[in-house]
Amino acid sequence: MAAMRKTKSFLMLVGRVINEAVSFIVFSVLDLVDFILCFVYKVADFFIEAEWKPCYCSSSKESITGSGKILVSEQGESKIVCLSSTKLQLDEISDTLYTRPSLLSEVSKLSMKEIKKGTVRSTFTVNSTIVEMLQGKIGGQYLHPIPRWSDCDCKFCTSWTSNCKETLFVKTDGPREYKGQEDVLFIHGFISSSAFWTETLFPNFSSAAKSSFRLFAIDLLGFGRSPKPTDSMYTLREHLEMIERSVLEPNKVKSFHIVAHSLGCIIALALAVKHPSSIKSLTLLAPPYYPIPKGEQATQYVMRRVAPRRVWPAIAFGASIACWYEHISRTICLLICKNHRFVEFLTKLITRNRIRTFLLEGFFCHTHNAAWHTLHNIICGTAGKMEKYLDAVRDNLKCDVNVFHGKDDELIPVECSYSVQLKIPRARVKVIEKKDHITVVVGRQKAFARELEEIWRNSSSG
């Protein structure tokens, strides 16, 4: 037995060494490939003209941009009124790795002395055509920029452009008439969609649950059937505001339960901190919480943990490509996401329709811009804030916190859930044997639906 253990340990050591060596070679080559693709896309983006797709809506006299407010006078003169302060700018940057590049470069000409005095108000004339492009209005109609040439422009992926109101796609289930029922918000993870919930849990909830709870499953900004604006940086603030605008405000949601998976857990925690008195329960699946060691830079540490630049396991290799190589991941979107209808057909043909198509929908129907910025601005960009969010949930919220994690999850280790429990002692952690990042729900949806119903009932009775 001792000899077998030594042999096993030796083989594991050899495997790690081989993995390290192969990873070094592979990622060195990928560094060069990504550099070359960077040049290729710069040239392609320069020469391929941007297209605009109209959405017929009523016009208004003003439009808010990332840098200020555009005002159009009756004489047609266009001015930009910049209402900004150093505090607001710092707040915008604090939760992002990438920030929106300002088209209004003239703002930078303001002296620092003027800015330090407080709120700055400046006006300057801008070409009316540029203003119309910034406002997305020509001839009294809003114009939505369709995805870049390397992204899919099929009817499914651009369905949001035909909607006058830029709100998230929301799949609702439960009682048609609101009579004081409780509400539940479902938030999916990275490169996924509302179908992750609606095709698994929604059909398995009991009739009693569907008569007692209104269920809202959203497609996050940039994914599924939700808007995919090309000028968005997909920051945490933007995701939260879209959820409020699309679900909480129109449906008059006052208090609600949250069920979130993976990246969605970060958005769920931020939403709970923003609405502490409204949360009735928090259910987190595979939360990506990595405690930051002293002396480490938070965003870089989380990037190394989420995307370790290893060729094995395969899911870590995929995460490394998505996280470290912007132009290679854009090429993958060009080859797969842009041609997702053909890829879906081919996949169904090869697997004889035995693969769950809703998982393909979530994986294919996004833009590279949305995936790249959401990954960096949510998972990595909020790394330094996660402890504050968890502390706020522990101290300011009285709701139940339940955490589920697949024991075989190779993307986000089980230790992340136990770390959440250390920050929130009342949190209950359940580790599911022989389940991974996806099968923690898919494949056990009936059991999980019953568990959620019990959580909601206990929270309501308490």
Which residue type is seen at 440? V
262 is known as an active-site residue: yes
Q: Residues in the chain, how many?
A: 462
Kindly state the tokens that stand for 117.
């005095």
Helices (H), 109-228: 112-116, 128-135, 195-198, 207-212
Selecting among 23, 67, 188, 232, the annotated active-site residue is: 188
437 is known as an active-site residue: yes
CA distance 131 to 137: 8
Selecting among 34, 419, 437, 459, the annotated active-site residue is: 437
405 is known as an active-site residue: no
Q: Tell whether omega for the bond before 101 is within 30 degrees of 0, i.e. cis.
A: no
Could you count the other beta carbons within 10 Å of the beta carbon of residue 457?
15
Selecting among 262, 281, 419, 459, the annotated active-site residue is: 262
Selecting among 151, 219, 409, 436, the annotated active-site residue is: 409
Which residue type is seen at 116? K
Measured in whole angstroms, the distance separating CA 311 from the mean position of its chain's CA atoms is 25
Q: Which residues make Cβ contacts (< 8 Å) with residue 15, sequence separation at least 6?
A: none
Q: Which residues make Cβ contacts (< 8 Å) with residue 354, sequence separation at least 6?
A: none
Query: Which DSSP string corresponds to 294-346?
Result: TT--HHHHHHHHH----SSSHHHHHHHHHHH-HHHHHHHIIIIITTHHHHHHH
Helices (H), 174-289: 195-198, 207-212, 236-243, 263-274
Give the dihedral of Cα atoms 99, 100, 101, 103; nearest 10 deg: -160
Sheet holding 137-138, edge to edge: 52-55, 141-145, 137-138
Q: Torsions phi, psi of 459, nearest 5?
A: -70, -35
164 burial level (CB within 10 Å; 0-12, 13-18, 19+): exposed
- Specify the DSSP class assigned to residue 292: P
Could you count the other beta carbons within 10 Å of the beta carbon of residue 458?
12
CA distance 324 to 328: 9
Among all residues, which ones are annotated catalytic?
A: 188, 262, 409, 437
